[in-house]
Structure 1
């Protein structure tokens, strides 16, 4: 068996993005309880923060893009990306329970399905970022063609294709996922019966989930920057700063994850793999709440709606506070204990 069953004591196996750690073909490797306690606490805390921020941020994007602003090609991209990230965050509680209990209590089907959903999010999120980059490049490079050919219907077709391709690439996550009882605990883990299967899955994820998307995003933004500079379309450095931030965020979030996944194919680096995969998986997960900030909330329509929403909430709270204070003052005055003057 290529992948050892790293039980509740192996904190590396709590993350559903990869959870493959082939130390030996036999028994699981034990980690000291104190080490696990610290790492489990950090993992649980990070997961809860990502879940809360991701659900709040992506939920706000879904609400605004889906119900509050006019449907455009851009809102289709933002809505689809937010749904993908929201779906990931919605399944995080299962991983959090697994981290805390050290026992997968949800059964084999959910073990497979949760892993499939998480990789579906990974690929769909990345492919949608690629689509957004290509779309921005086309709008800048060929504005007339884009104005005539870009349509909401074509945008939905592109989104559907991205989700179908993501689903196909996520199937191995469900096929090789299994559950087993170890030290009286149920473990959800990857069971690769051959080295070739493990290598093929990791390399495929690296190529289709990072190399090709990253190259396309880089090329698109280089073309956009050159076009803006040549035509002097940018009156400030803000567009270039934003594009640099987008590229840097993509690289920082996903490169460590894929790097340590490739590293685990070589057992020489077994000592650094658990910690490295925790860092990589956490950064990859953090991408789910960074996307709304980096993509959706940079748009003028989203900013306007967010400001309007915040202003409305602030006004409601202030009005509620004034009403409460006024009612309290009148009550005290009626009791003869306090003046009604505020």
Structure 2
């Protein structure tokens, strides 16, 4: 998955490392084999669980939400939850390619196009989720400040525009994956990895700048900006003393916390690669952060189904009886 993007050792130039090159620093072939098998089993187990539960649970949330929404046309929170479920369903479905990639011992057999698209979908899902959560917070705080000033249909129309904007935001910001992702022959076989080294013979300053720009934008727009927007929105909503449904508030808070817990380690490690000179420090951190990020697509539907169980009706339709 994205843990296999080029790990960078920083000195005067940016030297690219494949995963087999990282493991090659081990003292013996036996240690290398054991470590690779450990990482491979870790990915296989997590990806299998995420693919199975992610597709199943998010599909259930979508079907149940659409069924209730047809009867109750005034549930704005349900629109946001359905949008998140669709985003995570797409993520879980494309994660099957990463599962097969690991299954075949990190050999990619599906062509350069799917190599690029698989990474594009992964980061598109991350940026879309960040945008959805941020705009949901903003719209909730604004609606609490101006409740009664706009018609219900107008609120729904605005919400739809915000949803489409979030997906567009994710599609645009994940586009670097379409440019940098490529197939490369290594000791492990034909790998699908990110390569920001524009000059195949010697690393160029432009390659370094591109790498830095990508990881910095992922951290800023994936973590810092959403945190800032959600904090401001929470402060505005609190000042208005708006009585929001307590159970819905707990669900939305849990969704936001889950996003940051799952994605922050991976994005922070990616940012640290700009300055970290010892690439071996990422050997264990990146695989763990990768599987944690992948697990995010399963956590949200679990939150809906368990934490919001007592108030499922308020989440998917406030006027529907249990």
Q: Do Structure 1 and Structure 2 share a fold, with TM-score over 0.5?
A: yes
State the Cα distance separating 1:142 from its structure 2 match: 2.5
- Which residue pairs with 1:316 in the alignment? none
Contact 1:221 1:243 in 2 (8 A): no
State the Cα distance separating 1:206 from its structure 2 match: 1.0
Task: Give me the TM-score of the superposition, normalised by structure 1.
Answer: 0.75
- In structure 2, which of residues 205, 212, 217 is the aligned counterpart of residue 204 of structure 1? 217
Rate the CA distance shift 1:146–1:226 in 2: closer, same or farther, 3 A: same
- Which residue pairs with 1:129 in the alignment? 133
Is 2:279 aligned against 1:276? Answer: no
Rate the CA distance shift 1:295–1:212 in 2: closer, same or farther, 3 A: farther
RMSD: 2.9
2-structure distance, mates of 1:162, 1:17 = 25
2-structure distance, mates of 1:25, 1:284 = 26
- Which residue pairs with 1:261 in the alignment? 270
- Which residue pairs with 2:77 in the alignment? 74
- In structure 1, which of residues 292, 295, 300 is the aligned counterpart of residue 312 of structure 2? 300
Which blocks of at least 5 consecutive residues in structure 2 are unaligned? 24-31, 198-206
Contact 1:73 1:150 in 2 (8 A): no
User: Mapping of 1:217-232 within 5 angstroms?
Assistant: 217-228=230-241
Larger radius of gyration: 1
State the Cα distance separating 1:296 from its structure 2 match: 7.7
Rate the CA distance shift 1:97–1:122 in 2: closer, same or farther, 3 A: same
User: Mapping of 1:161-200 within 5 angstroms?
Assistant: 161-183=165-187, 185-193=189-197, 194-200=207-213
- In structure 2, which of residues 85, 95, 99 is the aligned counterpart of residue 96 of structure 1? 99
Rate the CA distance shift 1:304–1:113 in 2: closer, same or farther, 3 A: closer
Higher RCO (C-alpha under 8 Å, 6+ residues apart): 2
Which blocks of at least 5 consecutive residues in structure 1 are unaligned? 1-14, 312-342
State the Cα distance separating 1:249 from its structure 2 match: 2.1
Rate the CA distance shift 1:42–1:302 in 2: closer, same or farther, 3 A: farther
State the Cα distance separating 1:149 from its structure 2 match: 6.8
Tell me the number of residue pairs that the alignment of Structure 1 and Structure 2 aligns.
Answer: 289
Contact 1:225 1:240 in 2 (8 A): no
2-structure distance, mates of 1:217, 1:140 = 15
Is 2:144 aligned against 1:140? Answer: yes
SS of residue matched to 1:179: strand
Is 2:37 aligned against 1:49? Answer: no
Note the alpha carbon deviations across 1:270-325, whole angstroms, 9 max, x for none: 222132222222222222122234458735327789xx9xx9xxxxxxxxxxxxxx
- In structure 2, which of residues 11, 15, 28 is the aligned counterpart of residue 25 of structure 1? 15
2-structure distance, mates of 1:161, 1:304 = 22
State the Cα distance separating 1:67 from its structure 2 match: 3.1
Rate the CA distance shift 1:271–1:61 in 2: closer, same or farther, 3 A: same
Rate the CA distance shift 1:208–1:253 in 2: closer, same or farther, 3 A: same
SS of residue matched to 1:187: strand
